[in-house]
Amino acid sequence: MAINVWAHYKTIGGINMSHEVMVKEAMKTNLAIVKPSITVLDAAKLMKKRKIGNVLVVEKKRPIGILTESDILKKVVAEGKNAKDVIVKDVMSTPVVVIDPYCNLEEAMKTMGKCNVRRLPVVEKNELIGIITQKDISRISPVLHEISREWYDITARDEAYFKMQVFSGKCEDCGVLSANLKNIEGRLLCDDCIDALEYE
């Protein structure tokens, strides 16, 4: 049974809480975006300038990965590599779980918790339009943040739930960029390749 966390709220942060808030109403649209071909050093400089801990890696208006401070520490610094010699696409986290702008915040928080991620790029009509984070949701609804503890386990993700999500990245069959990849028998495939499988 869905929990109506909005029943006791009217307006918070300028957002009307008389209905279930959609991702589109709470997401950030001022995105920090980099191309997969730039160096990690340049990406890190953008993070420092924007005072943020991650950047979205985008190609042809589709998110293909996320580069976080953790990625840089584990895959560059800890490996003794020089950030100016490493390309973002070689160390970014990919593919990424994405969410529809018309999902409600409860579904977004559930997806983050069960997939063990703290942020979700928002995709509409196969294009990136924003990003929503745990902090965004917690700021709007501390109540929902508390409820989310039943979904969120810092040590593991719900693999069955994770595999049912929509991903953005490169199709593992044809290599095309898609913001609508689905897990089919362990492979992330685009709609065309999924359709082709049905006719085999």
Write the pLDDT tens digit of every residue in 151-182: 555 557 888 888 999 999 989 999 888 999 99
147: which residues sit within 8 A by CB, 6+ positions away? 3, 5, 106, 109
Average pLDDT over residues 170-197: 91
Least confident of 9-18, 29-38, 174-183: 9-18
**74-83 pLDDT, tens digit each:** 999 999 999 9
d(CA 173, CA 187): 8
**Mean pLDDT value across the chain:** 85
The values of phi and psi at residue 126, to 5°, are: 70, 20
127: which residues sit within 8 A by CB, 6+ positions away? 61, 62, 179
Does 52 have pLDDT greater than 60? Answer: yes
Does 11 have pLDDT greater than 70? Answer: no
Least confident of 7-16, 44-53, 102-111: 7-16
Q: Hey, what are 77's tokens?
A: 């610094």
Domains of the chain: 1-27+101-165 (3.90.1280), 28-96 (3.10.580.10)
**DSSP assignment, residue 52?**
-
The pLDDT assigned to 145 comes to 59
- The answer, as to whether pTM is greater than 0.75, is yes
d(CA 11, CA 36): 40
Polymer length in residues for the chain: 200
**129-151 pLDDT, tens digit each:** 999 998 888 888 766 656 555 65
